[in-house]
């Protein structure tokens, strides 16, 4: 048993960095989705629908190794996240149904914002049952919705720096932990 501790602790930073990479990827995909929905609501619909399995797999993968180390039931994680993101799919479908030419209850601009708001909420809630870091992505998406609503003309001036700050924070943490690991053997 004691032989497992060093190997687990040496692989933990690598797994953490993989998780941070996945979170950065989710942020970048979300920014792409915002832009896509802004320019082409029909393509945006399919993009947001495709995000359900991506976010589901990301939520499961981020939490998978931690649960294995702690001996928790990973089947429950799969079930919870799958059911959660299926609910997201149904909700997104219904929102886009309200915007279709048959009903016309929502215009295209509003549909994109509502889809992002739903993704924000779903991501935040997924983080509650999986990893708090996923909730951070949900908070970013929520801020993006507010920024779009308030600063429509200047949205990219707000979103791009915000995304860069979040990505930079993850990368700085990655670099700092790498230095901490490598610094003990290098002497600098």
Q: What is the pLDDT of residues 72-131, one digit of tens each?
A: 888 888 999 999 999 999 998 888 888 765 677 777 667 778 888 999 999 999 999 888
For 170, residues 6+ apart whose C-beta sits below 8 A from its C-beta are: 20, 23, 24
The yes-or-no verdict on residue 49 having pLDDT over 60 is yes
| Highest mean pLDDT of the ranges 93-97, 101-105, 160-164, 174-178 | 93-97
pLDDT of residue 15: 57
HSE-CB of 175 using CA atoms within 13 angstroms: 6
Residue from 70, 51, 49 nearest 59 by CA: 51
Taking CA atoms, 165 is separated from 45, 55, 172, 174, in Å, by 28, 21, 10, 14
Measured between alpha carbons, how far is 179 from 162 in angstroms, rounded to an integer? 26
Q: Which residue has the tokens 């979103």?
A: 159
């Amino acid at each position: 048993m004691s032989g497992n501790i060093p190997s687990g602790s040496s692989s933990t930073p690598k797994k953490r960095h993989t998780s941070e990479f996945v979170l950065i990827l989710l942020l970048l995909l979300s920014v792409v989705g915002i832009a896509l929905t802004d320019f082409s609501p029909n393509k945006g619909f399919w993009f947001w629908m495709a995000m359900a399995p991506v976010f589901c797999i990301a939520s499961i993968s981020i939490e998978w190794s931690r649960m294995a180390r702690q001996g928790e039931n990973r089947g429950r994680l799969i079930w919870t996240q799958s059911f959660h993101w299926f609910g997201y799919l149904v909700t997104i479908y219904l929102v886009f149904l309200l915007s279709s030419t048959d009903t016309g209850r929502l215009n295209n601009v509003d549909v994109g914002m509502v889809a992002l708001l739903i993704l924000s909420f779903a991501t935040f809630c997924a983080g509650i049952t999986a990893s708090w870091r996923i909730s951070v992505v949900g908070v970013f998406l929520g801020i993006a919705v507010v920024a779009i609503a308030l600063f429509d003309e200047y949205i990219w001036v707000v979103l791009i720096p915000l995304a860069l700050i979040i990505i930079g924070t993850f990368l700085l943490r990655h670099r700092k932990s790498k230095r901490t690991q490598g610094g003990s053997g290098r002497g600098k």
